[in-house]
Structures are given as C-alpha cells and as structure tokens.
Amino acid sequence: MSTLPQDTELPRATGPAGLAPPPDGPLLEATDLAVSFSLGSSLIARMRHEAHVLHAVDGVDITIPRGEALALVGESGSGKSTLARALAGLQRTDRGKIRLDGKVLPTRRSRADQRKIQMVFQDPYSSLNPRLTVGGMLHELLRVHHVVPGNEVQSYTRELLGLVGLGEEAVSAYPRQFSGGQRQRVAIARALALRPELLVADEPVSALDVSVQATILNLLQDLRAELGLTLLLISHNLAVVRHLCDRIAVMYLGRIIEVAPTETLFASPQHPYTQGLLAAIPRMTFTAEGDVPAVKGDPPSPLRIPAGCRFRTRCPIAQPICEQQDPALTASAGDPAHSAACHFAFGPVPAAREPQAAGAGAGVPANAANPANAANPANAANPANAANPANASDEGMRP
C-alpha cells in the first residue's frame, strides 16, 4: 500500500470545527437509543393478531472514546446496521440521545455535524455514483462542504487517493473500472474527505474476496495510526475485529448484551451468546462436538421479542428468572470495562440444559418468534433484513 510521505501535511479543514481543540470526555455517547419500523397496516395486523412494529434497536447505550476502535458484532438481523445508520444521522430514532463531543445532536443535523460522522458501506459499488469519475465525486464533495479553498481541490483529491493507496490515474476513472477492493478504497477516501472525527465502517470487507480483505483491514489500521481516527467497525467475523479493534460490543436482537476489551472478551466471555459466537469461529483442528451448532435454534422475530431475557429461548443455561426479568447490562466488580447482560455473568453458572424452542414462553406464541415459520406471513422472510430498509447492508451476513 502506498501512503503519503511522513513530512506531507494534508490541508486542514476550514472553519471552527477544524481548529477547535478536542474536548474532554468520550467522543460519542448514545443513551437509550431505539429505532422501530411499522410494517403494513396496523388495522390488518390487529385483525390477524399480529405484531405491527419491528423493533430493530431497542434501548442501546454505547460510548466510544476518542481514538478508539470499537467493534459491533452479532448475527444478521441483530440491528447492527440500523444502529450505525442512526449514529450517523441517516436513520431517524424513536427515542434516546446521541452526544458528540458532549453536544446533543438534533434530529436534523447541521452540515458541520454531518461532517463529523462519516460512513463506509458494505457494498462499495452501490454506494458510489456510476455516472461520476472518482475525481468528480471528490471534487463535488470538497466544494459543497468548503473543506479546502477552490484552488486546492485537485491537489487535495490526489492526496486523499494516495492516502488510501490509489494513484493519480484513479482521478479520471469510473467506479466500474476498479476491482472490489479498489472501489472500497475509493469509498474510504470519500469518507475521509470531510475529515470526520468518527468513521463508521459497516461490514467493509464482507463483500470482498478473502485475498483482498486483509489489504482493506491493514489500510484502516494504518489510517488510524496516521490520522488518529476513531472507528466503529461492524462485522460478523470475530477474527477480523480481533485484528483491528480495542473493544468489542456484542449485539443480539436490538440490544447490546456484552462489552469488553478485545482480549478480555476472547479470554473470558460472560454471556452465553458471546460464548457461542466464539465457539463458531472456524478452526483447523477437529473437535469432539463435530458439526453441532455453537448456538442452537433461530433468533426470535423482532416483531415479538420474548419476555424477560431475549436470548433465553436459545440459552443452554436459562432458568425461570430469565423468563421473568430482563437482565440489565451490568459491569463486573473486578473489571469495570467488562459488562454483560446476563443474570449469571461474573458469578456461578447453572448446569447446561437444552434451550427452549424459539418463541416458547410467556407472552410469545409458539409460531410468532420463528422467522422461518411459513405459517406466519409476517415472519415468512427474515423481517430484520427483508422488511427493514435500513438494514439492507446486513444482507448476506453469516453468524
């Protein structure tokens, strides 16, 4: 990868946002964030005794310190992309507050606030304008947002492309002329053009060949070191986030259920779902379990979230209290940086047992929580992906 010489200084962003010293405290803090989607007619849903609202994000609290790389992991349909779009201001929230540098961001963000959080999407080709050259896209962006003076736009464009490992010939090329990895580099350059304080990368390598994924991950790592970027990386691949991120937040059915420093999470996962995700990582050695799935069953439908702990229908250690009480995200007494939403985290663990069928339990009809049950037309397809337009970037992910 080609990078800028050590003595090269990129032009600074104009205006107060580019010159103000960073304030104390976390860069981004979200509290009680919720996003839901209405599906179909509410009248028909009531007549059929079906749920009308899909809860994609349900009471999420998240904090990202300045300069940190935080990973957000979970199965498809867990709400990762919807949460990312809400943080970036691309998705309206139902409730909750998002603070950036201590300032509460309004529903309608100013242009200066929009610049501070930029997003790299999963599919680089669909996120780029096929009718514009790379230079045309970057020139338009720089001029509209007045990032640099007009006479410096072309030189700044070349510097951006050099920063992501692309030569000057890329300025006059169209997205269709690049490979998948090169298009993702263009998408990263476009996000960096506005000098954001937080870069949100939504599955940036899942659509790329395995041979190309490492180059993009190394690029993000180099950009963190060179620019001091704060990064939120969304992925379903724990091996990827272990390579790049300082902390990991695990998300399940619209809520964060465990947060810990990366190595702590790998060494001592406390939530049974996190343990299942780690057990599902492919290994070269044969195990006695063979092909037994690490996490049994399908996730319940976000249209009908189980009462109590939302993972209890698949949990091997679920107890009666799990059906009655929804555990809060609680920090460990010995390690405040490690939190988990489980009644048995950081303490004695009951004996394992076979988990309930998805949807069983109080308040959840047996056929409502299984998204694969064709008898329920609202759940015939996975509603967390098919019916949620904001979650389209989760398509194709694997647990």
**pLDDT digits 0-9 by tens, 175-188:** 999 998 999 999 99
DSSP letter string, 332-391:
-SS-TT-EE--TTTTS--PPP-PPPPTT-STT--TTTS-TT-TTSGGGSS-TTTSS-GGG
**pLDDT digits 0-9 by tens, 351-382:** 877 655 544 444 443 343 443 443 344 444 44
**pLDDT digits 0-9 by tens, 251-269:** 999 999 999 999 999 999 9
**pLDDT digits 0-9 by tens, 127-147:** 899 999 999 999 999 999 999
Q: CA neighbours within 13 Å on the CB side: how many for 30?
A: 24
**pLDDT digits 0-9 by tens, 154-175:** 999 999 999 999 999 999 999 9
pLDDT for position 354 = 64
Give the three-class secondary structure for 5. Answer: coil
Mean pLDDT on 219-246? 90
CA distances from 381 to 77, 281, 301, 356, 385 (A): 11, 26, 10, 22, 8
The Cβ of residue 42 has, within 10 Å, a number of other Cβ atoms equal to 11
pLDDT tops 50 at residue 213: yes
pTM: 0.79
Instruction: Give the tokens for residue 243.
Output: 């390579």
Query: What is the H or E stretch that residue 258 is in?
Result: strand 255-261
Q: What are phi and psi of 99, to 5 degrees?
A: -110, 135
Give the three-class secondary structure for 187. Answer: helix
